[in-house]
Amino acid sequence: MMISVLLIVMAQGLVANESCVIDEGQSDKSFSSTRSRMASAVRDGRLEAIEDFVDDDIVFGFDGSSGRGAFIESLKDSRQRTALLDALSLGGRFQLIDNQPGFWAPFVYTVPLWDTSMPERYVIPLYRPLDIYSQASPTSRILDRFDCQPVLLAEKVNLNKDSWYAVLVRGARGYVSRLSVRSPLDYRAGFVRVKRGWVLKYFVSGD
């Protein structure tokens, strides 16, 4: 997924020199294996194989649905499988989840924000430098270039439909391509380590 996004970004004329993705998961062989095997099963649509990696009481979706059977059923929708693959492909960090050893993916959910009370106001760059354009077009003037720090949105956006997001840069309004950033409130996967290994306990979006 990361490679396809990179190619699309470059095709739009955006500069994508270096990834901002942080992935601590590679440091734990057990977790890395679980994530890899789960992603393979999701990619191939092998729903019965995915059950081995899912907690019995998983909480998922925007409305907080729960239960492994219902979650597996939801993955019959290709959009849900794509959302899960996107989350799994963008790194993450080890953190306690419900007082258990855990891992949150993607990494953007773990990035410290300037104002933690308003996570919906930020997007996180996936690549650096992140070009901030004067208009919602890659041919417009570049106002600024950001590193991997959070970017403040100028207004509420539709994360799944808007191709460009309006942002604030030193008090001025600019635009970033949706393909170059991700919201910390987009879908995220929370794994916990239990006796039988790592299992997916949360796959949720929103605050």
For 145, phi then psi, to 5°, come to -130, 125
pLDDT at residue number 117? 83
Q: At a CB cut-off of 8 Å and minimum separation 6, what does 111 contact?
A: 124, 150, 184
Please provide the CATH number assigned to the domain covering 2-15+23-111+185-204: 3.10.450
- Record: fold of 119-182: SH3 type barrels. (2.30.30)
pLDDT tens per residue across all 207 residues of the chain: 444 444 444 444 444 479 999 999 999 999 999 999 999 999 999 999 999 999 999 999 878 899 999 999 999 999 999 999 999 999 999 999 999 999 999 999 999 987 778 899 999 999 999 999 999 999 999 999 999 999 999 988 776 677 999 999 988 999 999 999 999 999 999 999 999 999 999 999 987
Q: So where are the chain's domains?
A: 2-15+23-111+185-204, 119-182
Task: Compute the distance between CA of residue 189 and CA of residue 201 in angstroms, rounded to an integer.
Answer: 8
Find residue 198's DSSP bridge partners.
193
pLDDT of residue 12: 46
Residue 171 has what pLDDT? Answer: 85
Nearest partner of 203 among 110, 81, 78, judged by Cα: 81
100 Cβ neighbours under 8 A, 6+ residues apart: 192, 193, 194
pTM of the entire predicted model: 0.86
- pLDDT of 64 reads 80
Cβ count within 10 A of residue 11: 10
pLDDT of 62 reads: 79
Handedness of CA 143, 148, 154, 156 (dihedral sign): positive
pLDDT given for residue 207 in this prediction:
75
Say what the pLDDT of residue 10 is: 43
Cis ω on the peptide bond leading into residue 106 (within 30° of 0)?
A: yes
Question: Which contiguous run of DSSP H or E holds residue 69?
Answer: helix 68-74
Predicted local distance difference test score (pLDDT) of residue 167: 96
